[in-house]
Structure 1
Amino acid sequence: GIATDAAWSFKMTVHVIGDEGCRCFGDAMRDLDNKALIRGNFILLGADTVTNADLRPVLEQHKRQAKFDKGTAATLVFKECANNVRTGNELLIAVDRRNDRLHYHQRLRMHHKESRYQIPLDVFLGNSCVALHHNLLDPQIAIGSPSMLSLFNDNFDFQTRDDFVRGLLINEELLDSRIYVAMLPAAQYAHKVNNWPAYQLVSRDIINRWAYPFVPDIGLYKLQQQYVFHKDNIYKSPEAHVSKVALLQNVVIQAGSHVDSGTVISDSVIGANCRIGKNCRLTNAYLMAAVTVMDNCKLEHCVVGDGAIINVDCDVSAGCVLGAKSVLPAKTTLAKTLITSTPSRRRSEDEVAVELKSIGPNAYIVSDLTTGDPEDSDGEDLLPQQALCIPKMGDLLAPLDEI
């Protein structure tokens, strides 16, 4: 059982280190360096990274490279991905085929497939054996040398990991530091969940068991099995009430949820204590806890927050996200829309609240223009080619230009 297989984790000690002055990734790295808590090689990954990868071979590769090249600052871990799906974490890199040294790094646009790339000529003139990879995913996993922390401390313009990569590639000789690359095997899974398209993709992969042993029926929560695994990737809690309901494929239903007759569900996740009425159709829908969906509703490619209510005869599709406790009036049709339950929104305490358009007593439309900060360089660094907008849910099988 899970208690036996993961016995090592029960004896593991976790130290949480915090600092109120840290406002970005770079500040956290500088704080770790100032506290001198890390003295050797370390594994660096975000809390939003989902992976079952065995990183021991990558760590050993990094150690060998560091012995050969004293200027080794980091080894970035990438994985091959499908060319027809974009989540904002895909990139193009140029690598020296002889030693896996990184020479060029560019993130790809989320919703468009590039017809051409602009790569500096120096990448090819200075290296006789360069390989270009344009089908790679960045799960935000890296092996860092102790010098990586000091590089952040010496360069306060390094705010994000992309700042660090770009800074070292531009100033390799000045900083006397280099970055190398490691590829994960095809059988190992890794992905970063930092937006709704990535959330949708990783949810689908977990349901289809590509991230095994991280599957719904493994029983990590309270070390008890929460779901019974049925054919066609149906994961249903024994405490869920589903009668005369068509569960087609790739469905997760948590405990306490009740689905009435005549409803058809496929490729969806139903949270705890949800109530779904009669004759509804849910496809690629993600319902959090205590969501109520009245009769005759259609939900496609959407996310519904905790405690939200969708009244009768509603059509919610094409990338909608409904915030917690929002209430959608009856016979509402929405597409590519974000809904919140509060009438105003402000990006910071210093800004004036922005009044939002109301479609009901507890349903207000959130515009893309009220969600991002145009002066925030972090977002631009991560996705320099992407317009300021909220990545929404969509059809993962659709051509990039149609999403």
Structure 2
Amino acid sequence: MNPTTGAATPSAHGSVLVINSGSSSVKYQLVDPVGGEAIASGLVERIGESEGRVTHTVAGEKTQRTTVVADHGAALRLALDLFEELGPNLDEAGVVAVGHRVVQGGSKFSGPVVIDDTVVQDITDLVPLAPLHNPGHVRGIEVARALLPDVPHVAIFDTAFFQSLPAAAHTYAIDADVAREHGIRRYGFHGTSHQFVSQEVARVLGRRVEDLNQIVLHLGNGASVSAVRGGVAVETSMGLTPLEGLVMGTRSGDIDPAIVFHLHRNAGMSIDEIDDLLNKRSGIKGLAGDNDFRVLHDLVAQGHEGARLALDVYVHRLRKYIGAYHAVLGRVDVITFTAGVGENDEIVRALTTADLESMGIAVDAALNDERSREARVISPGWTSTLVMVVPTNEELAIARQCVDLVAGGAVAS
């Protein structure tokens, strides 16, 4: 610990500044890639609005301010000023790299890459595949490179882990020439989390990741599931965009694509209106009126029929994917719940695994109900498939990938 600030002291390997630059916010975290601690973190939000908000946290002390944040350049300058004012000092923290989360890497990127002008252009070229995300990433990268020119900047792609999907899994059955011309295929998302969690499972169990077949359930406001054979992703639920797959907080997940045509032709809805409907007004929110699972469970307890249906639809889709991925893998050694809902919602975990004993899947009620931030097994001893809860840590995963790339693997995960 730093005796002055009380903050975690970076290791001899230094620290990594992880930046997630979104369309109207910049999230950042200074990470010790060896010990895994978040030395400091912050969020600048409402960029470009009449009043922005910034939160900076160090040593458990949270500072919040409101101010006008004109653009991403102003947001990052504000973040750096807060490091200077409130600590820790970035020069003293020994920042060895800046890691940038990038949602869409297309077929171009299958791993982390040191950013140069060509990489920035490649990410820009992928904007049509991620129009809500990649533009913010590009702006954040350009500004951060200008403000912190003396350290390497590394792009970590959400899609990279799923570049290993076999052709049968990533190919959509549409005209091959059209798909090729417009880059239409399954890319998958949340890859950094799925990779981290699948590796963490092996570490916790004292097993080689190469020996394990896993199903990873990343259940947050956005939700996805992956099938991982021997540490390599072979299937995932999100597709060309993060809309496909599981029912999510505000996204529909899988639907008949003809619904889009139906709404356009018969309801007079524009493409943009349908996009907004399926991404922002569907899922749990669309069915129950609120996408907070704590509110959802309260509504279910009060007898709210829409909330009960929302939960049933959510769990039904989860169970369907577990069955499908069990068939894909042939043998499942571990099913893992992670992210906000997966880590904290024992009701969802219990309902998802109920009555699957014939598949060798079950949870122990007492273990499932236990509140803990530690990775743990929650299945009884007799099951052929372990059920686990493993907290994800995408910032730590990004930091370690950065150091592995720029320092030749000096930091082990």
Shorter-chain TM-score bucket reads under 0.3
More strand by share: 1
More helix by share: 2
Q: Which structure is larger by alpha-carbon Rg, 1 or 2?
A: 1
Structure 2 length-normalised TM: 0.25
Structure 1 length-normalised TM: 0.25
Q: Which has the higher contact order (CA 8 A, sep 6+)?
A: 2
